[in-house]
A and B are shown apart, each in its own frame.
Chain A
Amino acid sequence: MNRAREIAAATLLELPRATPRRLRAALSSCGGPEQLLRAIADGAVARDPEARITEDIVSGWRRALDAAAARTTSLLAHRATRVLVVDDPDWPLTPDCGSLPAVLLVEGDAYEALFRPRIAVVGTRNPTPHGDADAREVAGLLADAGAVVVSGLAYGIDGAAHDAAIRAGGLTIGVAATGLDVAYPRGHVNLWSRVREHGLIVGENRFGTRPSREIFPVRNRIIAALASSVVIVEAAAKGGAMHTARAALDLAKVVYAIPGSRRNPMAEGCNRLLADGAQPLVDPLDIIVAVGCGATGVPSRPRRLAGVSGAARAVHRSLAGEPATLDEVVGRCALPLASVAGAARELERAGRLKRSAGKLWPL
């Protein structure tokens, strides 16, 4: 793939109302991005009522062409961006109908991530500590087994999945809804740069695209199309993770959902997916087996508490897998408050408990 072709492809994204559907139709009729640009300049783009390429659109493209080319050339001169076009040999998305992007912008240090098995790990932005721990566990196992963890760079499950994959020494792909130069959310600027170092950031929108409400659900279909299967860790009944699951089902990908308590609103989405026939992910190791990418045989998590005091064991047992307040634990264990507080800290230190919103969450 040569640079001129890449610049031509990126220029297409700058054109007004250049939707994926229109670009796909125009690219397939002209044969490639450079040819398409030439056709636009000559006004020779085939009108296509089915793809909504009308006279208006074509003349709009023609007027914007020079500015778009100039902007793209100067932008790409300073960025190590790879631009992929549909039908490229490296094209990572499932071949599909016109709703998937025709051009992808890719930035990052690990281009090989596009040639490895990829699994998406997504979920709510407001996870419970259990959801956070599950996301880390699944992503860590996948990374360990050599799979690439794909997610959406958002707060919550997405962030935990990227982070765990990087910590496990694996690769990860972040799919951005904004332009690749607009790190969003702001609190994840650091995560963006870490994902660039240990993987790729992928996006379909032109540089400078600001976050807006509509672009996130649209982005989720790329996550589904990039991955061979999708793991939904925790999801509310409505939300981005459910979009991803639906897109994955449309693309005939396997959707795994981690079952949760019916009392947990953040498990409602997953439980609904399971009721609708998604694969239950009861043990995170199952995903390794299902993916079939060289399981390392690492046990997913020590089930037994080892090396903690009797009080800590009693506290952990009294929680029985569910969150509870310190006061409730004191009532159950018949231990003084100070000992329970000490035991809770001990469990926290051992990574078997997390405090959140005044509750103790056993892990």
Chain B
Amino acid sequence: MLASVRSANLFGVEGRVVMVETMVSGGLPSYSVVGLPDTAVRESRERVRAALLSSGLAWPTTRITVNLAPATMRKSGSGLELAIALCLLVAGADVAAAALEGTGVLGELGLDGRVRPVPGVLALVDALARAGIERVVVPADNAAEAALVQDVEVLPARTMGELRDCLKDELPWPEVPGPRAGTDDDGELVDLSEVRGLGVARTALLTAASGGHHLLFAGEPGAGKTMLARRLPTVMAPLDREAALEVTRIHSVTGLHTSGALVERPPLRAPHHSASVQALVGGGSAERIRPGEITLASRGVLFLDEVAEFAPSVLDALRQPLEERVVRVSRAGITLELPAACILVACCNPCPCARPDSQCRCSDLVRDRYRRRLSAPFLDRFDLRVRVAAPRAEEPAGASSLEERDRVIVAVERQQHRLSGTPWRRNAHVAARALGELCALQGAARLRFLDVCRDLRLSGRGAACVQRAARTLADLDGVMQISDEHVEMAASLREDVP
């Protein structure tokens, strides 16, 4: 008896449709899975069998062959189990094949017949929808997330037994539950109004939030670098639907996202400085490539505190993804592109002892060695580099995140209007060749720009950085023309640090 059901499997942060086929034939009882399954898929046998038996359903005591097509793609994880179980029900003529026509099935099984949630449902349902599937059976816990995909009917499954009855129209399908509230909003809510003084660093923060520029803060411990950097997402414009779906999909794949709600706030990822290259840019085995922190931070902020403590090889591995805003991961026979469109914010101390200037006794050799941990090409990726000095206690508190975010949103809209029809979304992304047109400098601004380039001996890349940042500053001020003060300010935000 032959049966087939469509399911999907994760490939990086994308889903791929998998056809699950079962053949129940005469012969000694056996169960084999073919089609490049990993260990979790192969172990499905025990879970499928126990789930069927404890739900009062039949387990064929003959020869069972499960094929996962396409045969050349590696399959991983437990999300194919529900599809295998339903296939067996169809093969046993318990459920009509027509009931699963045009339906995709996702889910892991418990021994008691419960349907368990799986990671990456959004990506998987998305893939099924693109393959023309109109209905998906998903674990009830994932139903809210699956419902984020438009034009697909979501059928929540709670237990194997209930699912069988629903498929046979003996029971109505359960309601799709709403997203669980608030579980993904981790950490305390922070606000920019808690930061006193630091006008220059604040300006840099808003510029980064508006124009998507990478930002480096250098300064003594306690100056407020980390405080500022952590508040960057609070002044960024909320994610539009496309970006929100991308972020939700990526976070769901890695199991970070469980509420089922759309992630609307830009994410902040702050990996520890002991992180490996794979942890930061992504990697893992050919069976299961895991996105790295830079992908998890896509559309949001990747925050590297104590950046000089990261291994130099790790930082240099970030260079290409930061430039191209995608990560290419290659493993045996597989090449994969993961999104990496994040703003990088890094903090570092001026010297390894990190004492205030008057107490620092680091020799120039030690300082130099510390500085060299950050390679020149890596430092070059930062359009904004600001030295932060601790503000005095009597400095007034600054504007709140909400007020500043309104300015940023306006600046982002101006950019989107100007950059529509180009491959870029933010000023920081604009290629050098298009700067003349998209970040035009005229009159006094042009003269000042030439002065600044000469005075600071800027390289071509450095000059382009100043030009882009000046454009963003003009957008923040809500003006069409970049003025000479914008150029000056942009140059001041690109200090020679650390």
Contacts and interface: CB of A to CB of B under 8 A. Distances in A.
A337 B203 contact: yes
B371 to A, nearest CB: 12
B486 interface: yes
Interface in A230-275: 263-265
Interface in A14-57: none
Contacts of A344: 492
A197 B389 CA distance: 43
B491 interface: yes
A326 B492 contact: yes
A334 interface: no
Q: Is the interface of B mostly helix, strand, loop or mixed?
A: mixed
A105 to B, nearest CB: 27
Interface string B471-495: 0000000000000111011011001
Nearest to A326: B200
A319 B431 CA distance: 40
B495 A358 contact: yes
Contacts of A126: 363-364
A327 B199 contact: yes
B90 interface: no
Interface residues of B, number: 32
A71 interface: no
B485 A342 contact: yes
- Assign chain A's interface to a size class: 20 to 34
A125 B364 contact: yes
B492 A341 contact: yes
Contacts of A125: 364
Nearest to B198: A327
A327 B203 contact: no
Nearest to B219: A358
B198 A339 contact: no
A137 to B, nearest CB: 21
A328 B489 CA distance: 16
A97 interface: no
A308 to B, nearest CB: 14
A331 B496 CA distance: 23
Interface string B364-402: 100000000000000000000011110100010000000
A271 to B, nearest CB: 14
A125 B362 CA distance: 12
A357 B350 contact: yes
B452 interface: yes
B497 interface: yes
Interface in B225-279: none
A326 B492 CA distance: 9
Contacts of A306: none
B387 A339 contact: no
B197 interface: yes
B358 A265 contact: yes
A263 B373 CA distance: 30
Interface of A: 125-126, 155-156, 263-265, 325-328, 330-331, 337-339, 341-342, 344-345, 348-349, 355, 357-359
15 contacts: A126-B363, A126-B364, A264-B358, A265-B358, A265-B359, A327-B200, A330-B199, A337-B489, A338-B489, A342-B484, A345-B451, A357-B497, A358-B388, A358-B389, A359-B387
Given A325-B387, A341-B488, 7 more contacts: A326-B492, A337-B200, A337-B203, A338-B485, A341-B491, A348-B455, A355-B495
The 8 closest A-B pairs by CB, nearest first: A358-B387, A338-B485, A341-B492, A342-B488, A325-B389, A338-B489, A327-B199, A341-B488
